[in-house]
Structure 1
């Protein structure tokens, strides 16, 4: 009986770095999946997958009612398990988000937010809370 090596633990902040056609990662059921090679083959189109990168897409995946074959394909794309970022990882992610700038996406209803705002703002708030706690105690 062979056992596979343990899956790599991937900080959730790292998901924000993989949201393009050249590197697309999704979080489903706590596991990180590299769906880059599947973008062109996805029956619903690549935009559905790209829109679900950098966040937990479990609910959308389950709502569609994917087949057993689709679930088997997804299992082959697992590259790790998600974990919360350390304070240092959160700080680095916040710096990257700030360096990238925050801009509003031009959604059809005008209410869309850019990925930097969706991911960067919560990370920045966590970092600020940690720093505030460190300097006030």
Structure 2
């Protein structure tokens, strides 16, 4: 039975092994319709910086033909998080809604929102909803 809903809880975007695992799981779920990701930022100073462009490479080989809803919580605006969102927008031709809820301590929320709405999208009908922390 194909997976239609997937949730990553406490995902470290800055740890290469976590991003590789997430990419593998997502590539293995072409029937995915809903995705929820809770970013995790504890001890970020000690985290290894992930090769963020790997998400864009993955987007060329990983179309989500059924993904419609994405929710990302605890967003902090890290480059790796932005590349992940760009990856989803470029890979999801049927995406309807991408909801982003920043972490309570995020500064520059307006700047992050400006970046997000400038990203190219595979779906002309997708909307980005940026919630208050």
TM-score (norm 1): 0.28
| Greater Cα radius of gyration, structure 1 or 2 | 1
Which protein is richer in helix relative to its size? 1
TM-score (norm 2): 0.28
- Relative contact order: is structure 1 or structure 2 higher (C-alpha 8 Å, sep ≥ 6)? 1
Which protein is richer in strand relative to its size? 2
